[in-house]
Amino acid sequence: MAKDVIIALDFPTREETLAFLDRFPDGEKPFVKIGMELYYAEGPSIVREIKGRGHRIFLDLKLHDIPNTVKRAMSVLRDLDVDMTNLHAAGGSAMMRAALEGLTRPDGTRPLLIAVTQLTSTGAETLKNELLIETPMAETVLSYAKNAAASGLDGVVCSPLEAALVKERCGEGFCTVTPGVRFAGGDVGDQKRVMTPEAAGKSGCDYIVMGRPITQAEDPVGAYRRAVNEFLG
């Protein structure tokens, strides 16, 4: 499976996003993630524009609704020609299968479809007291990952610390996309359980998602290249 670094474009406007991308020389086109902030601010045109510049795109909108609605929404996203998108595994296997149907183009190709298991912001207390899930977090995450694999999805978003176990349970070919990556000695910010790009590369992560360590760096292009070099070894 192709391994790569994905830059989280967590910017509020088109202008700031393009100013960031303009720092890269012609011909260097990082894989980028467009999340809810930028998508809701600028709409589908920002996806088309960044795609038109030659970047691969992970559209991180985390869909979660009844199967028919998700299927129809996915068929709209399909036409944006992104490379990867996602949904919540909590929507269940019928929703995940419907999403795959909606995402598949008439020629049979489709973007990679990745499931969010439990959000990393959901703690053990919330799981038990609010979601009323008595099963421990790690087992819950693995069970959701297995549902996603059985529904035909390509992988999951997970912590780099869970990637090896996900691979072990769901198969080597099941893709792991991992945020929570920080350079050694760097600012951890609000991420709690972090790993370096180098350690992530050795732990079964296929794609690492890095935002602030690259976007807020004094030299973002240098930081991106450092992440790629460390991750790919």
**Helices and strands, counts by H and E, the chain:** 11, 8
**Closest residue to ligand C5P: CB criterion:** 211
Total residues in contact with ligand C5P, by rule CB under 6 A: 15
Closer to ligand C5P by Cβ: residue 71 or 224: 224
Q: Which stretch binds ligand C5P (CB under 6 A): 16-24, 123-131, 139-147, 210-218?
A: 210-218
Closer to ligand C5P by Cβ: residue 147 or 215: 215
Min dist. Cβ of residue 178 to ligand C5P (A): 9
Strand residues in the chain grouped as ranges (E): 4-8, 31-35, 57-63, 84-88, 112-116, 155-157, 175-178, 207-210
Q: Quick one: which of 34, 141, 200, 210 contacts ligand C5P (CB under 6 A)? A: 210
Nearest to 174 by CA among 33, 1, 57, 3: 1
Give dist(CA 163, CA 90) in Å, integer: 19
Tell me the catalytic residues.
62
Site string for ligand C5P, 170-189 (x = CB under 6 A): ---------xx--------x
Give dist(CA 229, CA 220) in Å, integer: 14
Nearest to 7 by CA among 46, 42, 74, 56: 56
Hey, which residues between 116 and 135 contact ligand C5P (CB under 6 A)? 119-120
Closer to ligand C5P by Cβ: residue 71 or 85: 85
Closer to ligand C5P by Cβ: residue 67 or 162: 162
Dihedral of the alpha carbons of 63, 67, 69, 70, in degrees to the nearest 10: 30
The reply on whether position 57 binds ligand C5P by CB under 6 A is no
Min dist. Cβ of residue 121 to ligand C5P (A): 7
The reply on whether position 115 binds ligand C5P by CB under 6 A is no
Three-state DSSP class for 181?
A: strand
Q: Which stretch binds ligand C5P (CB under 6 A): 82-90, 129-137, 139-147, 205-213?
A: 205-213
Q: Is-contact 61 36, C-beta < 8 A?
A: yes
Q: Is-contact 89 116, C-beta < 8 A?
A: yes
The reply on whether position 32 binds ligand C5P by CB under 6 A is no
